[in-house]
Amino acid sequence: MEENNNLGRKTGKICKSSLCRIMVPILVILLLGFGAVSLIDSFYHTRGKSFVVLAQQGIEIQRIAIEPWKDKVSEVPVWYQGRQYHLKIEVNGGAARLMEESRGRARYQGQEDSPWIYDSSDSYTYEPLKLKLYFE
């Protein structure tokens, strides 16, 4: 009797059709291309910016490192000399803004006058506390 060496193993290819043989390499190339484009884009938007700085009357209160490879939004509460302001700094790649705690709720919302700052030359001043948000 002859023993079958292929017993228990699947024989055949993953892609049997010609369309599948063409589409799989194209999809791999597209995924690699999109990954490279997103990395280049994130480094472009954070070029010249290493930190988001919050200062009050020229004294630095808080410094947050910008991580260009991070895609998620960071919300950092503002503390200074043991006192917590009811503000958060929202950092999204190469952009930042101040968020204020909603009255009556523990949720934070973007300040209506608090625009996103994008360029390293941009700054935003929160008048009630004389807080200045800028890039360094």
CATH of the domain at 90: 2.60.320.10
Going along 5-112, which residue ranges are E strands?
51-56, 59-65, 74-80, 83-92, 95-101, 108-110
Residue 61 structural domain = 51-135
* Tally of domains within the chain: 1
120 burial (CB, 10 Å; 0-12 / 13-18 / 19+) is middle
Q: What is the pTM of this model?
A: 0.57
Check whether 124 has a pLDDT greater than 80: yes
- Cα 15 to chain centroid distance, Å, stands at 37
Give the CA radius of gyration of the chain.
25
Give 11-68 pLDDT, tens digit per residue. Answer: 556 677 888 888 888 999 999 998 888 777 666 665 667 788 888 888 888 888 877 6
Note whether residue 41 is domain-resident: no
Residues 68-78, mean pLDDT to the nearest whole number: 74
Note whether residue 74 is domain-resident: yes
Check whether 110 has a pLDDT greater than 60: no
